[in-house]
Structure 1
Amino acid sequence: MTRDKYNWKEALPVYGPLVLLVLVGFVWAFQYIKPAPPDHIVIASGEKGGAYHAFALRYQKLLKDQGIDLQIISTRGSVENLALLSQGKVDMAFVQGGVQANKPATGLQGLGSLYYEPLWLFHKAGTRLQRMPDLQGHKVAIGPQGSGTQALVRLLMEENALKIPSVEMLAWDSVKASKALKAGQIDAAFFVASPRSPLVTGLLHDSSVRLASFERADAYARRHDFLTVLTLPEGAEDLAVNIPPEEIKLLATTSDLVVQEDLHPGLVSLMMQVVDKVHRPAGWFSEEGEFPNYRHMSFPLNEQAERFYRNGPPFLQRYLPFWAASLLDRMKIMILPLLGLLLPLFKVVPPLYRWRMRARIYRWYEQLEE
């Protein structure tokens, strides 16, 4: 008992400063630790039943497996989504490419383009529409207020000098416009939708409706970086019935995932893995691995997203659950200084302790010799 107490007293003057130095290092490093990523984020999708909402539901399921709760807010479309982002009411949102063309993006960054969104122009079978100017004198549905469809259509109409009252523009949603077109109540309707959409499939198979081909599609694409020309081959929808009956040129934009610039870097890395898993498979107009990408984006690319495109997922997130990888990533700023202090100190302290003990023994030797 006495011997243990004696050893502790002897070791304290040597190891005490070491412990104090390590504690100071911890306190200093703690000031630079990143906050933990939130476990709840909000996304603005689109109309329920639409592609945006369907993808948001898939994100929600994959994020839940990693302990992140994704709240989905249904909206009228890209314009409303962009407004919610700008107001800070959501953390991320789907935004149709070109919606904020010629407007500076402040406080917002893009994670990537997700897939092509073709612009479909359906019209009554008895109406001849080959170019945008042919819409003069017709009743046309251009998408609901706040939607990316309406924003894109208005841009194209302005470039073709089409204005009210030469064209009667109706701000109807896709369901209402589709029913009115089939019933012959309107002459034409614009839609931005997937080719697999039941709405598009139904219109393609309706004999009273025709799909217009954008004859000057290449000209539009040259004028706007966010537009791409796609080709719908003859018979692509139905070979037996030959739908469509001829090759169709379509204009397409892309769907972009846009986030607040201060979204936690750990969450951005996780979202990039989710997005890659959902949108990597091939589609009607894209090859496998073509999406996600950053080629058609209208927003500055997020730094973490850029690293993902260059190097793939972070090392820790490849092998560990998100919470464990995030914890280790945050703690490394403390572990590294600690190792930097302990390794040299453990080399210095033992010889120092031995020298201290020998110095005390040497004094006793001098007295014994006397």
Structure 2
Amino acid sequence: MGKQSKSSQGKDHLHIFGPAIVLVILGFVLAYQFVKPAPPDHIRLATGQPDGAYYLFGQQYQKRLQEERIDLEVMTTAGSIDNIGRLMRGEAAAALVQGGTAQNETGLLSLGSLYFEPIWVFFRKEAPITRLTDLQDKRTAIGTEGSGTRALALQLLADNDINTSNSPLLALGGRQAADALLRGEIDSAFFVASPMSPVVRALLDAEQIQLLSFDRADAYTRTHRFLSAVKLPEGVINLKRNLPDRPTTLLAASANLVVRNDLHPALMDLLLQAAQGVHGKGGWFEESGQFPSPTYLVYPLSSAAERFYQYGPPLLQRYLPFWAATLVDRLKVMLLPFLALMIPLSKIMPPIYRWRMRSRIYRWYREVLAIDHQLFNTDADLEPLRSALDKIEYDVSHIDIPLSYAEELYDLRLHISLIQQKLERRARADAR
């Protein structure tokens, strides 16, 4: 038997395993049609004015997403109302939105609330102000057009029958409103912001400025269910100066992380992880681990966020980089052809291969047995049988098979030799 050539082995494997490989490839091609698209590597987050907390938090989100190779563009805006408009127009994929500013917009989802956003009403100490009703006739900054501060301030002032017809309500917000208040150009100003906001911190530290305490907070929270009452402890701003000099009650909305409903679910999970890292430690008004939260929402909670709050980050994202986790998650549908085809084929193909190899050997036994049977016929012509047997021996010696089947091949050649010996004994007997 000649040694089987590598090219012959390759042809054998191609003929036997080729159709199975083609079948598996077709299965993968079909399954690939159901693979979800990859998440974009660039998204926009609408925040607020450059001197506000939304913008500062947006920058922290940007840094965290950059670590996962996602480019988060932080957009400066007029505020929450503007942010909602940008989401609806598709100019941003995500936004920070103040509680109480949502209307009946469709196509927007909340990933959760992030922190309490107090309503700070600052006024100059020389102005006798103890309640919002005292702001009538006062020059009050209520926030710029398109800001959540303006929408909420107008709502609270309207509860106290204060409007533009009986009071000078000015479209000032952020640093501009704070500077006007510090210079005495206005009497009071509304801000809706985190205590970490530079504008809020500056006004809290200003000696000529007083912070209004909402002594009727329970009435407001029962009228507006999106509001909560929070306490600013005595001395928390500055212990040495004892600021504030008494516990102060504030009303607070909740900042929400809002997204378009067509944002890739993997990016929703990533934004939630960023929010957890930024806001999870708590603050002046929040307990550690209280936020992000599926409560205090301005829009329906997304299904991705619901899973996040129930089970935590996706399993793959806990142990793999974001790009690798999303790739594996997208391609998991490709396991279907593997399970449906590869496992059965792995059990079927080895027996088929063995049958193909052995059939090259066993098919010669039919002819050898036929010659053996003719030797029992006393009238048989031995010369054609001898020639046929010699040809079989020659052909069998050139069968190309793997070495693992050499034993079966040599068994066949041994049996051919036995028949040859039997034929020679018959020939000698006939000669006598």
Report TM bin, short chain: over 0.9
**CA offsets, 1:152-195, max 9 Å, x none?**
11111223332222121100122222222223222211111222
Q: Secondary structure at the match of 1:82?
A: helix
User: Which residue number in structure 2 is paired with residue 149 of structure 1?
Assistant: 149
185-194 vs 52-61, which moves further? 185-194
Alignment gaps of 5+ in structure 2 = 371-432
Q: Structure 1 residue 9: deviation in Å?
A: 4.3
Shift of 1:11: 4.1
Contact 1:91–1:260 (Cα < 8 Å) also in 2: yes
Give the match's secondary structure for 1:85: helix
Residue 34 (structure 1) shift:
1.0
Separation of aligned partners in 2, 1:74 and 1:8: 64
Partner secondary structure for residue 231 of structure 1: strand
Change (3 A) 1:239 1:10: closer
> For the residues of structure 2 that align with 1:196 and 1:60, how far apart are their CA atoms?
18
Mark the structure with the bigger radius of gyration: 2
In the TM superposition, what whole-angstrom CA distance separates every residue of 1:298-347 from its partner, at most 9, and x where no partner exists? Answer: 11112211111111111111111111111111121113421331112111
Partner SS for 1:42: strand
Mapped contact 1:225–1:296 kept (Cα < 8 A): no
Deviation at 1:13, TM superposition (A): 4.2
CA offsets, 1:18-50, max 9 Å, x none? Answer: 112101211110101111111111111111121
Query: Which residue does 1:262 correspond to in 2?
Result: 262
| Correspondence list, 1:27-176, <5 A | 27-100=29-102, 103-176=103-176
Tell me how far 1:2 sits from its aligned partner.
6.5
Closer, same or farther: CA 128–34 of 1 in aligned 2, 3 Å: same
1: CA distance, partners of 2:9 / 2:71: 54
RMSD across aligned positions (CA) = 1.8
Q: How many residues are matched?
A: 368
Kindly report which structure 2 residues correspond to 1:210-225, keeping only aligned pairs within 5 A, or say none: 210-225=210-225
Structure 2 residue 31 is the aligned partner of structure 1 residue 22 = no
The alignment status of 1:226 with 2:226, answered yes or no, reads yes
Q: Is the 8 A contact 2:51 2:174 kept in 1?
A: no
**CA apart distance, 1:259:** 0.9
Asked whether the equivalents of residues 279 and 292 of structure 2 are also in contact (C-alpha less than 8 Å), the reply is: yes
Deviations 1:214-259 (A, max 9, x none): 1221121122232110111222222332222222110001111111
Please give the per-residue CA displacement for 1:83-116, whole angstroms capped at 9, x wherever unaligned.
100100111111111111xx22311111111111
Q: Cα–Cα, structure 1 residues 83 and 291, in superposed 2: closer, same or farther, change >3 Å? A: same
Separation in 2, partners of 1:277, 1:24: 44
Contact map agreement 2:42 2:71 (CA 8 A) in 1: yes
**Separation in 2 of the partners of 1:191 and 1:4?**
81
Paired AA for residue 24 in structure 1: L
1:64 to 1:198, Cα distance in 2 relative to 1, 3 A:
closer
Kindly indicate whether the alpha-carbon contact (under 8 Å) linking 2:31 and 2:336 is maintained by their aligned counterparts in 1.
no
**Amino acid of the structure 1 residue aligned with 2:358:** R
> 1: CA distance between counterparts of 2:176 and 2:20?
75
State the match for 1:250 in structure 2: 250
**Aligned amino acid, residue 22 of structure 1:** V
- Per the TM alignment, residue 3 of structure 1 is displaced from its structure 2 partner at its CA by 4.4
Per-residue CA deviations over 1:44-75 (Å, capped at 9, x if unaligned) read 11111211111111111111111111111111
Indicate yes or no: 2:313 matched with 1:296. Answer: no
Q: Could you tell me how far apart the structure 2 residues matched to 1:277 and 1:207 are?
A: 34
Amino acid at match of 1:224: H
Name the structure with the higher helix share.
2
CA distance in 1, matches of 2:8, 2:185: 100
Residue 318 of structure 1 is matched in structure 2 by 318
Which position in structure 2 is the counterpart of 1:368? 368
* Per-residue deviation, residues 141-162 of structure 1 (Å, max 9, x unmatched): 1011111100111111223332
Q: 1:235 to 1:6 in 2, by over 3 A?
A: closer
Distance 2:369 2:49 in 1: 98
Q: 1:2 to 1:358 in 2, by over 3 A?
A: closer
Corresponding residue SS for 1:347: helix
Q: Structure 1 pair 366/54, CA: closer, same or farther in 2 (3 Å)? A: same
AA at the equivalent of 2:309? Y
**How does the TM-score come out when normalised to structure 2?**
0.81
Q: Percent identity?
A: 48
